[in-house]
Chain A
């Protein structure tokens, strides 16, 4: 954001260090169209040739020149032209090891980063038999806590004083908060106190308008505020920033690629809308097919899809439980779960986050006491946990929960919104990670928003349960059916993670005596090929018009994405720990919360990250979404990030952490320098979980 032409806050950090020339140059072409793959390819090959001439070394492998030679053209949009003037942020062209002739360009670097170094891969799996270490939240030194309390106290006192004086001397701007003319106030001034007096001071961090695909990089619409965040005024310029804040775990947020082509094909066949709710004419064969693909992916018998992730919980949980049932939910469950739970009318009890001993004592208490006042036994006890918690990055201790389930015989609902597709050697979620049979869990729920580049959610379980949920869930009758393009994206992305098995399976079914029978029962027609979980999906269960490019269909790219994601998660987590920061959560989770504690440091961190030469856009979370003192930055790592992107994030955190005094984890003697972290990345990632 140019600093000179309009007023900025007097407390703005001096931006003399960051070169503004690149920002100005970038803004000449405000309508930035991404380069075509061919021009990009040619540009990179020319850059590579130049580099080789400069080095005069013997190349061990030739760069991929096969496609580009016939399609070379250089216009204003090619990367090469950009590179000379405005690629000083290093986001458009990959750095690092170039590809060899077997590797193909299939993606645009600004959407999905190219990384051909096979060392930067890791498998996310819990070692069998290893004890599960419960994460202990590190505490900062006392002066940080005291300064946090005092800063909140000052903000609250100032806010109340401003409200008090403002209502008396400036009552025009407080009209909506005070009764007048016989009308009650429009908003309660006490309920909105936090939003008006604390959050509005930081509003430049929130609700940032963006455009384009939220992939590896994202295009921010610049804005400024003349009156301390009361109004925000858009500028005409865009800033391309490294995106470490979007939920894009496997990098399927792409405008170009095999899934996008499949979506176009699906739109041509099915249109853009389903034209109705599921129970009233909005069902199509594509819905049934997608639900069977989802069920196979997750390892369950059947699944039902809903068009909105939040609505999946809020409409299906009331269909599972009602008054007279008990729900035991974790302290930090998502708002959608709580909404559904509250809607259902069942009783709720909460247990301390991830604490299995507290859960067991709570279970003993509720089972022995029964319903309140009457002490009758509960109709149902449903335990709702999340596979991965988005604010903390912690994972549920699934094996312990399953042993408790065997012992106390409650029902289990696992919300895998953040863990499906992101965890596990095959990407099938927490069950895959811990190598447990998913059929042991009663209800597995998940969303498609985070890992599959789609939207919506699903609930999976056994066939009888799902058939009943289709009717009793509110979304079947009252909400729209999910739209065909999104369904195609779901099918394409899941198929590419599962890998497609093109072999023709058994066309004849056999009965118990081993004699071939005629296919009289309808079930044999659907189950011609056996599906073994976790494994490839047969071509017959996918739509016939769906043709994914070979890297996606063979599962190679899906596996590469899973492994890159796991590497990036471990690397960022362990790297930040070694640099001296306090992070929460399990190192295999792609969500990395970095603790900041003081509220004022949040906005400073955000601004310093955005003003760097390579701008990085981050998400800050504070009270009241988190407990009072633990404000944090939440990094969401993606498979589309390369190791060099994570390096730049680590370097940025290191610099900013020194300025803002955020390193309260390891002591000074045990910390590593950022160069050491970057060099020893692979070693860091491969430390076993319980030794770290």
Chain B
């Protein structure tokens, strides 16, 4: 048995492969030693029942009239605002529009999970699902999803045209496009990609953005010792 006395509280090392003495003296990363991890967000029957009970007003506006054209309108408005900055060239301007649109649409559709209201009516059934996964009750290849997939593609094509195929800007745009299109693929439905997953307990639960993982507030370095109350306090 190796005897190691960690100076700080460390995650338990229960990986099956034999550990060399060299790795135990360093801070080991826990169970998962990979940079990227893909996890599936499962659904239970209870969640299915909860989801079917109410119509999801957070997600069904994308099928309403005007919800598709608003993307075009917002892109045009953004382009005009960016062009108003003095000294702006069309190459930089189109790249900026592309990047900002991809960033904001990623934030709105693929980062934030849950519903920002009426959480008691849905019973937390959508708490782990991003807006993309809530659209059309999770069905794939629907018209709304096809539109939302093609808008970044068209914007990318426009930006490569107006940057005159400059290789650096092309590379930047292409990477941004791939990064934004990956979560829209049906294969990545309900999958979460975690980078340097922080799993102290050994099993990572998908958490919403606002809550830190459990134990984040637990004082690690000693903290205040517990106060032991005896009867003498009350005399």
Contact = CB atoms under 8 A, between A and B. Distances in A.
A454 interface: no
Interface in A185-211: 185, 188-191, 193-195
A624 interface: yes
B57 A624 contact: yes
A387 to B, nearest CB: 20
Interface range on chain B (Cβ under 8 Å from partner): 35 or more
Contact of A191 (B53, B65, B70, B119): B119
B69 A190 contact: no
Interface stretch (B7-15, B152-160, B212-220): B212-220
A149 B66 contact: yes
Interface string B168-183: 0000000000000000
A627 B67 CA distance: 12
A118 to B, nearest CB: 44
Contact of A348 (B49, B58, B209): B49
A629 B61 contact: yes
Contacts of B54: 338
B66 A195 contact: no
A275 B89 CA distance: 81
B117 A146 contact: no
B118 interface: yes
Nearest to A163: B210
Given A142-B66, A188-B119, A193-B116, A627 B53 contact: no
Contacts of A189: 210
B52 A348 contact: yes
A182 interface: yes
Interface string A346-372: 011110000000000000000000000
B65 A139 contact: yes
A335 interface: yes
A-B pairs, top 4 by smallest CB distance, nearest first, are A145-B66, A194-B117, A628-B61, A193-B116
A628 B64 contact: yes
A145 B65 contact: yes
Given A191-B117, A629-B66, A182 B217 contact: yes
B185 interface: no
B108 to A, nearest CB: 9
B121 interface: yes
A628 B116 CA distance: 13
B196 interface: no
B53 A338 contact: yes
A195 B115 CA distance: 12
Interface in B49-83: 49-50, 52-55, 57-58, 60-61, 64-67, 69-70, 73-74
A359 to B, nearest CB: 15
A635 to B, nearest CB: 23
Contacts of B64: 145, 627-629
B210 A146 contact: no
A179 interface: yes
A190 B55 contact: no
A188 B211 CA distance: 8
A627 B57 contact: yes
Nearest to A137: B65
B204 to A, nearest CB: 19
27 contacts: A142-B66, A145-B67, A179-B212, A179-B216, A183-B217, A184-B211, A185-B211, A188-B210, A189-B210, A190-B116, A190-B209, A191-B115, A191-B119, A193-B116, A194-B118, A195-B117, A331-B55, A335-B121, A338-B53, A338-B54, A338-B121, A342-B53, A345-B49, A348-B53, A627-B61, A628-B64, A629-B64
A637 interface: no
Given A182-B217, A628-B57, 20 more contacts: A142-B66, A145-B65, A145-B67, A146-B66, A150-B70, A150-B74, A179-B216, A182-B219, A184-B211, A185-B210, A188-B119, A188-B210, A189-B210, A190-B208, A191-B119, A194-B118, A347-B52, A349-B52, A627-B64, A628-B64
A332 interface: yes
A287 to B, nearest CB: 32
A349 B53 CA distance: 8
A178 to B, nearest CB: 9
Interface of B is mostly: loop
A623 B57 contact: yes
Contacts of B57: 623-624, 626-628
B30 interface: no
Nearest to B113: A190
A342 B123 CA distance: 10
Contact of B116 (A180, A184, A194, A629): A194
A629 B73 CA distance: 17
The winner among A184, A341, A624 for most chain B CB atoms within 10 A is: A624
A571 B49 CA distance: 42
Contact of B118 (A183, A347, A624, A628): A624
A626 B57 CA distance: 8
A184 B218 CA distance: 11
Interface in A660-685: none
B123 to A, nearest CB: 8
A106 B57 CA distance: 47
A348 B122 CA distance: 14
A338 B55 CA distance: 11
Contacts of A180: 217
A182 B218 contact: yes
Contacts of A331: 55
Contacts of B217: 179-180, 182-183
Interface string B134-164: 0000000000000000000000000000000
Given A146-B69, A190-B209, A629-B64, A342 B116 contact: no
Nearest to B209: A190
Contacts of A142: 66, 69
B61 A190 contact: no
A341 B53 contact: yes
Interface string B97-129: 000000000000000101111110101000000
A560 to B, nearest CB: 40
Nearest to B112: A190
Contacts of B70: 145-146, 149-150
A624 B117 contact: yes
Contacts of B49: 342, 345, 347-348
Interface in A613-656: 623-624, 626-629
B52 A350 contact: yes
Interface string A143-155: 0011001100100
Interface string B190-233: 00000000000000000011111000111100000000000000
Nearest to A630: B64
Contacts of B67: 145, 149
B114 A190 contact: yes
B81 to A, nearest CB: 13
B116 A191 contact: yes
A403 B41 CA distance: 43
A146 B66 CA distance: 7
Nearest to B116: A193
A623 B211 CA distance: 26
Contact of B60 (A335, A338, A627): A627
Contacts of B114: 190-191
A153 B108 CA distance: 11
Contacts of B218: 182
A626 B118 CA distance: 12
A144 to B, nearest CB: 8
